[in-house]
Amino acid sequence: MPKMKTKSGAKKRFKMTASGKVRGKQAGKQHGMIKRTNKFIRNARGTYILDESDAKIVRKFMPYA
């Protein structure tokens, strides 16, 4: 039986935690920072845990993570 392939876009954007949750970057920080509020920029630092409905999709993209 052939191995399943990991989606290369998903492996660059997401990591799995030790408990099996999916960690991703905060959205909306690539460009256009002038129009964003300071509060938005401050709150969008770092990473966050994906919602379970989104995490289910990402786990299909990363079968061996």
1 found inside a domain: no
pTM for this structure?
0.79
Q: Which domain does 36 fall in, by range?
A: 8-61
* Residue 37, pLDDT score: 96
Give the pLDDT confidence of 10-39 residue by residue, as tens digits.
999 999 999 999 999 999 999 999 999 999
Residue 61's pLDDT band (cuts 50, 70, 90): very high
Q: Dihedral through CA 19, CA 42, CA 8, CA 57, nearest 10?
A: 50
2 found inside a domain: no
57 found inside a domain: yes
- Residue 38 CA to residue 12 CA, distance in Å, equals 27
26 found inside a domain: yes
Which domain CATH number covers 32?
4.10.410.60
- Residue 5 CA to residue 47 CA, distance in Å, equals 25
pLDDT at residue 65 above 90?
Answer: no
Looking at per-residue pLDDT, the higher value among 50 and 65 belongs to: 50
3-state helix, strand, coil in the chain (%, to 5): 35, 15, 50
Residue 1's pLDDT band (cuts 50, 70, 90): confident
Domains: count for the chain = 1
